[in-house]
Amino acid sequence: MKQTPTRGHRQLRKGRHSIPGTYYYLTLATLNKKPLLATPKISDIIFQAFDWLETKERLRWFCVIVMPDHIHAVIQLGGKQTLSRLIQSFKSHTAKQVNAYLERSGSLWQAAYHEHGIRQDESLNTIIRYCYQNPVRSGLVKAARDYPFWRCKFEME
């Protein structure tokens, strides 16, 4: 009897491997895609979380874009670190901070996240530019440089 593929979060995790030193393109979305993130204070919470994780050598971040209902990040996974543990830590910390600021409780983030391991034959610059242009593709601004909720360690444009 032929089994149909399982759908959902468990299927997404199958075959997922964490490789320290690997570059990843990440997308994390808010629960039910609620547009809670793109404000100065909340984007600062997210940026500070990435900065803290970097000081603890859990990752190196290169580009972070905070959209209203999701974030994109290009990172390099730190040594002795799994991607799932890193994401869980990030989500837990930022959810507490954001919920306190918004005077709300409950889940902030969707349980699942999307990651794409960047291979040697792919251009890190191309992926960072794609990330940087997301606010333009979403119709939030006409020029990416006008979007206020992003950080990149490289000169853009």
Reported as a single tens digit per residue, the pLDDT across 45-81 is 999 999 999 999 999 999 999 999 999 999 999 988 8
- Within a domain: 157: no
What is the pTM assigned to this prediction? 0.86
- Within a domain: 4: no
Q: Is 15 left (phi over 0), alpha (psi -120 to 50) or beta?
A: left
- Within a domain: 51: yes
Average pLDDT on 1-7 reads 47
Token pair of 67, please?
A: 């959209």
Task: In whole angstroms, give the CA distance from residue 61 to residue 41.
Answer: 20
- Within a domain: 93: yes
In this structure, of 10-14, 19-23, 121-125, the range with the lowest mean pLDDT score is 10-14
Tell me, what's the pLDDT at 16? 55
Task: State yes or no: pLDDT of 4 exceeds 60.
Answer: no
Q: Is residue 57 a contact partner of residue 77, using CB atoms and an 8 Å limit?
A: no
Alpha carbons within 13 angstroms on the beta-carbon side of residue 139 total: 0
Q: Is residue 109 a contact partner of residue 27, using CB atoms and an 8 Å limit?
A: no
In this structure, of 12-16, 55-59, 94-98, the range with the lowest mean pLDDT score is 12-16
- Within a domain: 8: no
State the residue range of the domain holding 37.
Answer: 17-152
For the CA atoms of 87, 56, 51, 116, what is the dihedral angle to 10 degrees? -40
Task: In whole angstroms, give the CA distance from residue 49 to residue 46.
Answer: 5
Q: How many CB atoms lie within 10 A of CB 125?
A: 10
